[in-house]
Amino acid sequence: MKRVLSGIQPSGQLTLGNYIGAMQNFVKLQETEECFFMAVDLHAITVPQEPAALREQTESVTSLFIAAGIDPAKSSTFVQSHVRAHAELGWLFTTLAYMGELERMTQFKDKSAGKESIGAGLFVYPSLMAADILLYNADLVPVGDDQKQHLELTRDLAHRFNSRFGDFFKVPEPYIPKVGARIMSLDDASKKMSKSNPNPGSFIALLDSPDVIRKKLSRATTDSGREVKYDPANKPEVSNLMTILSHCGGLSLDAIEAQYDGQGYGAFKKDLAEAVVSVIEPLQARYNEIRSTGEIHDILKQGAERASEVADETLAKTKELMGFLAPKR
């Protein structure tokens, strides 16, 4: 079995894009691989967070993991800050990273644009992301297109450590599905669907009510003309909606084109909304059950214990190779 590691920030509401681009893949991977999935709360605080909201979102995100089908008996689900080795190895890798590498990170440029003051954590957090992955010597890392740059830095840091201190870390590979890796905004298909978008109509939140979902999809931007055709270059808006229907309705893109040939966008968008609702309604029912019983806390405790076993062993060996004096036991 290969080892898989991935995480999602507990800031804002998780979206249909998170579900299709990440969580559906988590559920598939746990059947064949050893998986570790986490809420990356240490990443979330690279920008200011309201404490009560951070706690609520951390519990909500991890509960949605389980509601989406991640099985605690098959995968370790945990909170990043509950495994202390993440922060410690993150610091060690910060000392290996170069300023130029961190300055080139596109997400840093985007999030710091137009701001007078920028927290140092936002600048160095790719080093923490590298530590997250390498703590578990992960073989595969499910990432969207926007995270490939961070994974490349992780690969570079693994090579750098191995060349300086001895061959220890595996160099991870990205796991990027061919279709659906990046679900785009409902109002602008040139931008990723994001929970941080100030326009709530641009995304489907996993906790949106069915009526809200139907309304948002009925208003989703479409291209000129009325042909339902998968052509991301010339028809990016409808191609994005087709990708969503493909994942939620279990249809191939060719089948979608054939089914709506000559029908225009009206029938297509109505069926799309029902397909999305059919996926989200049972997810929400399971989510509400998890939150009402409080079972998520036991799941997170068990997940952190399993993750810590692996992470602490990796951290100890890393420090030994770097020359740290081990404490007397």
Residue in 195, 216, 235, 269 annotated catalytic: 195
- Catalytic, 195? Answer yes
Task: For residue 90, give the amino acid letter.
Answer: G
Choose the catalytic residue: 74, 111, 148, 170.
111
The phi and psi torsions of 84 (rounded to 5 degrees) equal -65, -20
Token pair in block for residue 64: 């949605």
DSSP one-letter string for 275-329: HHHHHHHHHHHHHHHHHHHTHHHHHHHHHHHHHHHHHHHHHHHHHHHHTPPPPP-
How big is the chain, counted in residues? 329
In the block, which residue shows the tokens 């923490």?
128
**Distance from chain centroid for Cα 124:** 19
Three-state DSSP at 177 gives coil
Residue type, 212: V
* 191 included as an active-site residue: no
Residue 192 annotated among the catalytic residues of the structure: yes
Contacts 24+ apart (CB under 8 A), 248-255: 248/20, 248/272, 248/275, 248/276, 248/278, 248/279, 249/275, 253/179
Positions marked active-site: 111, 192, 195
